Amino acid sequence: MAWLETFLSQIVDRPVLIFALLFAIALGKSTVMISSILPPASLMLLAVIAISQPSLSITLVWLAITLGATLGSVLTFHFGQLINQRMLFPRFFSRHNSKLQRISEKLQHKGGLLVLFTSRFVAVLRYMVPMASGMMTFSRTRVYCVTAFSAAVWACLFIGIVSGALYFAAPII
């Protein structure tokens, strides 16, 4: 963990790097292939948001996370469309068929957009639901809008947690 401390201390005064890191974390946690190899998004985002406080405005932190998360979901949606068109990765889908089937059933019913919105807040569903909606040929415009809105709310949630923690910790420190 010493390398992490060293890394974070080196970027604390570089707002462009912090913005890029926030964007990359949110993007990575919203894509199907990258998310599984990264540590939990909450820990990574909370740490980087905390170090970003002195050098980045909250608006830029929110923008970086929202853009990264939205782009990740959009890429995953298009990955689902590609899978559906070309019948790619049959072994992956045979292994996760029951999970994808449950997601597809929930998306097909009247709460499909609500499922897409709320999936942002559950780790595995964050990338499985947009992929399944791409495989089911959901409306691109609806998916873009819902994922952008859920990413914006998701970013606000993380920023609120860090801001609240820093506010309440300030008198103690």
Q: Quick one: pLDDT at residue 132?
A: 84
pLDDT-derived band of residue 171, with 50, 70 and 90 as boundaries? low
Q: Quick one: pLDDT at residue 63?
A: 95
The three state secondary structure string of 9-39 is HHHCCCHHHHHHHHHHHHHHCCCHHHHCCCC
- Could you read off the pLDDT of 61-109 as tens digits, one per residue? 899 999 999 999 999 999 888 887 777 666 666 666 677 677 777 777 7
- Could you read off the pLDDT of 21-72 as tens digits, one per residue? 888 888 888 876 665 555 666 677 777 777 777 778 889 989 999 999 999 9
Q: Which tops the pLDDT comparison, 5 or 143?
A: 143
pLDDT-derived band of residue 145, with 50, 70 and 90 as boundaries? very high
Residue 140 has pLDDT above 70, yes or no: yes
Do residues 16 and 56 make contact, with C-beta atoms less than 8 angstroms apart?
no
Ordered DSSP codes for the chain: -HHHHHHHHHHTT-HHHHHHHHHHHHHHTTSHHHHTTSPPHHHHHHHHHHHHTTTS-HHHHHHHHHHHHHHHHHHHHHHHHHHHHHT--HHHHHHSHHHHHHHHHHHHSTTHHHHHHHHTTSTTHHHHHHHHHHHTT--HHHHHHHHHHHHHHHHHHHHHHHHHHHHHHTTT-
